[in-house]
Amino acid sequence: MRAARFDVAVVGAGVFGAWIAWHQTGAGRRVLLIDQHGPANTRASSGGESRVIRCAYGPGALYTRMAQQSLTQWREFFDRIGRPELFQATGVLWMAMRGQAAAEQSVAALAAAGVAHEVLDAKALRTRYPQIQVPDQGWAIFEPHSGALLARRAVQAVVADACARGAEYWRDQVLPLTAASRAAGLVTHSGARIEADQIVYACGPWLDQVLPEAMAGRLFVTRQEVHYFGVPADESRFGPAQLPTWMDFDGEWYGMPDLESRGFKLACDRHGPAVDPERQERTPTPEGIDSARAFLARRFPTLADAPLLGTEVCQYENSSNGDFVLDRHPGLERVWLAGGGSGHGFKHGPAVGEYLLKLMAAEIEPEPRFSLASKSTTQQRAVH
Ligand X SMILES: Cc1cc2nc3c(=O)[nH]c(=O)nc-3n(C[C@H](O)[C@H](O)[C@H](O)COP(=O)(O)OP(=O)(O)OC[C@H]3O[C@@H](n4cnc5c(N)ncnc54)[C@H](O)[C@@H]3O)c2cc1C
* Identity of the residue, 55 or 314, whose beta carbon is nearer to ligand X in the bound complex: 314
**191: phi > 0 → left, psi -120 to 50 → alpha, else beta; which?**
left
Nearer to ligand X, 130 or 332 (CB): 332
Q: Which stretch binds ligand X (CB under 6 A): 10-18, 56-64, 81-89, 99-107?
A: 10-18
Residue 202 binds to ligand X (criterion: CB under 6 A): yes
Instruction: Based on the shown chain and the rule CB under 6 A, indicate whether residue 94 belongs to the binding site for ligand X.
Output: no
Residue whose CB is less far from ligand X, 206 or 264: 206
Nearest distance from C-beta of residue 16 to ligand X, angstroms: 4
Q: Can residue 345 be called a binding residue for ligand X (CB under 6 A)?
A: yes
- Answer whether 325's CB lies under 8 Å from 319's CB: yes
Applying CB under 6 A, the span of 71-79, 113-121, 286-294, 343-351 interacting with ligand X comes to 343-351
Q: Are 237 and 131 in contact (CB under 8 A)?
A: yes
Among 25, 46, 73, 318, binds ligand X (CB under 6 A): 46
Binding of ligand X at residue 37 (CB under 6 A)?
yes
Catalogue the E-assigned strands of the chain.
Answer: 3-11, 31-35, 51-53, 87-88, 92-97, 118-121, 138-143, 147-149, 168-171, 186-187, 193-201, 220-229, 245-248, 253-256, 264-268, 308-318, 325-329, 332-339
Q: 84 CB contacts (<8 Å, ≥6 apart)?
A: 75, 78
Nearest CA among 53, 372, 86, 357 for reference residue 208: 372
Amino acid (one-letter) located at 242: Q
* Residue with Cβ nearer ligand X (205 or 288): 205
Distance between CA atoms of residues 223 and 272, nearest Å:
5
Min separation Cβ 171 and ligand X, Å: 8
Question: Does residue 257 belong to the site contacting ligand X (CB under 6 A)?
Answer: no
Q: How far is the CB of 234 from ligand X (least distance, A)?
A: 29
Q: Which of residues 156-175 bind ligand X (CB under 6 A)?
A: 173-174
Residue of the chain from 9, 10, 17, 319 that contacts ligand X (CB under 6 A): 17
* Beta bridge pairs of residue 268: 253
Contacts of residue 175, defined as CB under 8 A and 6 or more positions apart, other chains included, come to 181, 187, 188, 189
Q: Does 343 bind ligand X (CB under 6 A)?
A: yes
Are 140 and 56 contacting, i.e. CB atoms less than 8 angstroms apart?
A: no
Give the containing element (helix H, strand E) for 157. helix 151-164
Q: How far is the CB of 55 from ligand X (least distance, A)?
A: 11
Residue 16 binding ligand X, by CB under 6 A? yes
Backbone angles phi, psi at 313, to 5 degrees: -115, 120
* Cα gap 349→43, rounded to integer Å: 18
The total number of residues shown for the chain amounts to: 384
In this structure, how many other beta carbons lie within 10 angstroms of the beta carbon of residue 366?
13
DSSP labels, 92-155: EEEEEETT-HHHHHHHHHHHHHT---EEEEHHHHHHH-TTS---TTEEEEEETT-EEE-HHHHH
Instruction: Name the minimum Å distance from CB 94 to ligand X.
Output: 12
Of 139, 169, 316, 370, the residue at the interface with ligand X (CB under 6 A) is: 316
> Quick one: which segment of 22-30, 39-47, 131-139, 235-243 binds ligand X (CB under 6 A)?
39-47
204 binds ligand X (CB under 6 A): yes
Nearer to ligand X, 130 or 347 (CB): 347
Kindly state whether residue 34 participates in binding ligand X, applying the rule CB under 6 A.
yes
Q: How many residues bind ligand X (CB under 6 A)?
A: 39
Query: Which is closer to ligand X, CB of 179 or CB of 362?
Result: 179
The answer to the question of residue 229 lying near ligand X (CB under 6 A) is: no
Task: Tell the smallest beta-carbon distance from residue 172 to ligand X (Å).
Answer: 7
Please state whether beta strands 147-149 and 87-88 pair in parallel, antiparallel, or not at all (unpaired).
Answer: antiparallel
Residues lying near ligand X in the complex (CB under 6 A):
11-17, 34-37, 41, 44-46, 48, 51-52, 173-174, 202-206, 210, 224, 226, 267, 314-316, 339, 341, 343-347
